[in-house]
Structure 1
Amino acid sequence: MTIKAIIKSLAICAIAGGVALQSAQARDLRLAPGVPPVHPAHTPLYTEFVTALAEESDGRLGGQIMGTEIASLGNMRTAIRSGLVEAGLLLPAYFPADLPNFNLIGDMALLGTNSFAMNGAVTEYIATCEACQQEFSRLGMVYTSTHTTDVYHLLTNRPVTTVADLRGMRMRVGGPQYSRWLEAMGGTPASTPVGETFESLSQGVIDGSIASSADIISFRLEDAIDYLTYIGLGTFHSTTSHAVGQAVWNSLSAEDREAVARASTRASALATQRWAYEMPAEADQVARNSGIEILEADESLHEATRRFAEEDLIYAAEQAESRYGVSDAAAKLERFQELVEKWNGIVEEVGEDPEAIAEAINREVWDQVDFSSYGT
């Protein structure tokens, strides 16, 4: 073998050894989205999170995605606290008594008119809300970012365009404000798990669901509903995209904690892009191909919704204080409204682009955080 060939061979071995060493040193976190792969909270929220973790940490961190048989949305709190899951999708609306301060602003669905803006507003609010941070600490978890759905509409097996059409209808709801809205319109809310929507509709247990039209794809509802009514009932933003277990967080360096937060923010922006912008267009086509009639809510229903939203701000603050002991709820809601306006402006400035939104959140939120103490 020539000297040149020997040098080349040694170089290849060195590179291979370096890659193997880096791979051996990489730490794969056990990740649980709690939803099936077709759902945007799995793909891209978790698939892209794995990629972003490696990039943001220079290969020190990675992830292994676990299925719903390991951890579902309903038992995610227990799965993370026990250490079975090291980072998972936590929906605060499932645990109102544990996260009342988060749910105070998560409950304000009707404030959401732009999904990307709600990513920024919620992330900034929770990251800088002392009471919210204390709630996560008591649960043994750390907050990293939020993703947001498309604005919600009505997916039903009866036509709905007016307030009168909603009277007597039993519908699945995804949060307290939707329950209050439906009751104000004369309907009855049902706390049906989202994964059981198809079965409940098919069996006539419920008459419809207040949800993103993307649910037609995510939960195969094209054979369970006959009507899709556009009304725009705000966004579902009561989400913690990747809630990290306290023990895991404590074991990470400040640099790697920041990498997790930035990776989470990137994945959340991509999930919002998928959920709020791409899937609704696909769902519309699926609906049309399946013979689902697409309707528009009339002005009377829009006006009734606007009146409800104004009055509900006061009611929500009172309920949060009296039922869950949230202090200064009205002032907290006012601050959140200000952040929503701020982020609506930022989105207008940078555009509805997931990379630009993630960069803005990193600049406005995570660049201001001391990761040597955040979450500890």
Structure 2
Amino acid sequence: MKSTIRAAALAAFGAAATLGAAGAPAEAANLRFAVGSPPNSLGDNAANYFAEKLNEFSGGEVTAKIYPLSLLNLMESNTGLRDGIADIATVLWPYFLAEYPETNLAAELAALSELVDGNKKQATLAYLGAVSEYVALHCPECREETLAQNQVFLAGLGTSAYILQCMKKVTTVEDMKGLRIRAGGAWWTRWANAMGATPVSMSINETFEGLSQGVLDCTASNPAELTQFGFIDAVEHITTGVPGSSFAFGMGQMNRDTWLSLSDDEKSQVLHAAAYLSGDGIMAYFDDGEENVGKLAPEQGIEIYEADPALVAKSKAWIEEDLASLGASYEERFEIKDAAAKTATLRKLIDEWLPRMEGVETRDQLAEVLWENVQSKIDVATYGQ
């Protein structure tokens, strides 16, 4: 069963790995990609597609060897990549808030997609395209903090919109009162509090047990996690439409020394393959989530609901308030300047990305849209200098 396969990936965003020995960057012909997630996970599959496309675009002159959960784990990825243990790695920005405040501001603005009317998938895809463009092309502060870690940004990734996966029926504002919800990040913690629920801080690896033992009433998670982490074998009810938002991160960041060792043509080939890294990983979240909610969960007798319009309206009203306070919080905590203007820039980019994402259904379609509008516009002669 797919849930059994995906259960093998439950460490994808938190498992430990043995740290490889430090060393100088590898030869450009064979790049070491430390994924930080297990074999056959979404991250591992996306990295292998990157390697396939890199081999194709370079005619075999530049290749990548994938190290799933064997070279660097996700807590080690930032310093390990900085120090040259790997040439490319997955860097979860929220794990390194002090190092990436500017980038994390953009990542926390994922809830902007919840304010877009119409197709939810298109809105979330538009945000994920917009945030990659923002980090790579419109946020010099983001690039500076990445360079400070001896890295360059290649490709972003993000999940589909979060839903409630519960042990009881939850659809209304009244249902939310006192509900114990596993919140996997600061945004979902704030949302749960604002909706009258009680957020519970719990590792994703402990969530299945928390649901099964009655410690949790719900987990706020993306739909793909129903099978990735086996929640489909615990929960009895699913509510779509809330809380929403997406977990965005750096799926591919590259050691700066390795980047500078490449020719301009090789850099372009890496960036082109990086667009496919994003395309594969993002669409896997959507494809798995759609299958989980539309087919696998109902087959197991799980009830599917849409959130009551009053709950959705309350959520959207809070999101607007939170967006304003979020910028002020980052300005106070990290001395970020002009957070409101940066929020406005990202909101404008989302509007520009909405028509680009219309009709995008496959990983290659998404990859080419990303390549055309993000990676191909990077000036390889100056990027990372």
TM normalised by structure 2 equals: 0.84
| 2:38 paired residue number | 36
- 5+ residue gaps, structure 2: 1-26, 114-119
Asked whether the equivalents of residues 34 and 70 of structure 2 are also in contact (C-alpha less than 8 Å), the reply is no
AA at the equivalent of 2:264: A
Is 2:373 aligned against 1:364? yes
Asked whether the equivalents of residues 230 and 297 of structure 1 are also in contact (C-alpha less than 8 Å), the reply is yes
Distance 1:53 1:211 in 2: 32
- 5+ residue gaps, structure 1: 1-24
1:298 to partner: Cα distance: 0.9
Asked whether the equivalents of residues 38 and 218 of structure 1 are also in contact (C-alpha less than 8 Å), the reply is no
Asked whether the equivalents of residues 170 and 207 of structure 1 are also in contact (C-alpha less than 8 Å), the reply is yes
Asked whether the equivalents of residues 217 and 283 of structure 1 are also in contact (C-alpha less than 8 Å), the reply is no
| 2:133 paired residue number | 124
Asked whether the equivalents of residues 27 and 62 of structure 1 are also in contact (C-alpha less than 8 Å), the reply is yes
| 1:261 paired residue number | 271
1:205 to partner: Cα distance: 4.2
| Structure 1 residues 85 and 99: alpha-carbon distance in aligned structure 2, compared to 1, 3 A threshold | same
Distance 2:212 2:72 in 1: 26
Aligned length in residues: 350
Secondary structure of the 1:68 match is coil
Is 2:298 aligned against 1:297? no
Distance 2:219 2:288 in 1: 20
Spell out the pairing of 1:10-25 with structure 2 (5 A cutoff): none
AA at the equivalent of 2:367: A
| Structure 1 residues 355 and 153: alpha-carbon distance in aligned structure 2, compared to 1, 3 A threshold | same
User: 1:257-316 CA distances to partner (integer Å, 9 max, x unpaired)?
Assistant: 221121111121122222113442245422223332222211121111111111111111
Distance 2:76 2:218 in 1: 25
AA at the equivalent of 1:280: E
User: 1:128-172 CA distances to partner (integer Å, 9 max, x unpaired)?
Assistant: 210000111112221111122211101122321122322223323
Greater shift, 127-136 or 293-302, is seen at 293-302
Distance 1:104 1:218 in 2: 27
AA at the equivalent of 2:133: E
AA at the equivalent of 1:137: L
RMSD of equivalent CA atoms: 2.1
Is 2:185 aligned against 1:175? yes
Spell out the pairing of 1:43-58 with structure 2 (5 A cutoff): 43=45, 45-58=46-59
Distance 1:109 1:368 in 2: 23
Distance 1:365 1:310 in 2: 28
Asked whether the equivalents of residues 76 and 89 of structure 1 are also in contact (C-alpha less than 8 Å), the reply is yes
TM normalised by structure 1 equals: 0.86
Distance 2:201 2:77 in 1: 18
* Residue of 346, 353, 361 corresponding to 1:343: 353
| Structure 1 residues 149 and 27: alpha-carbon distance in aligned structure 2, compared to 1, 3 A threshold | same
Distance 2:264 2:167 in 1: 51
User: 1:90-138 CA distances to partner (integer Å, 9 max, x unpaired)?
Assistant: 1111222211111112102222243332232011100121000011111
Spell out the pairing of 1:271-290 with structure 2 (5 A cutoff): 271-290=281-300
Asked whether the equivalents of residues 41 and 271 of structure 1 are also in contact (C-alpha less than 8 Å), the reply is yes
* Residue of 231, 249, 274 corresponding to 2:241: 231
| 1:331 paired residue number | 341
Higher radius of gyration, 1 or 2:
1
Spell out the pairing of 1:126-165 with structure 2 (5 A cutoff): 126-128=135-137, 129-165=139-175
Q: Sequence identity of aligned pairs in percent?
A: 32
1:337 to partner: Cα distance: 0.1
Secondary structure of the 1:146 match is strand
Spell out the pairing of 1:84-123 with structure 2 (5 A cutoff): 84-112=85-113, 113=120, 114=122, 115-123=124-132
| Structure 1 residues 172 and 71: alpha-carbon distance in aligned structure 2, compared to 1, 3 A threshold | farther
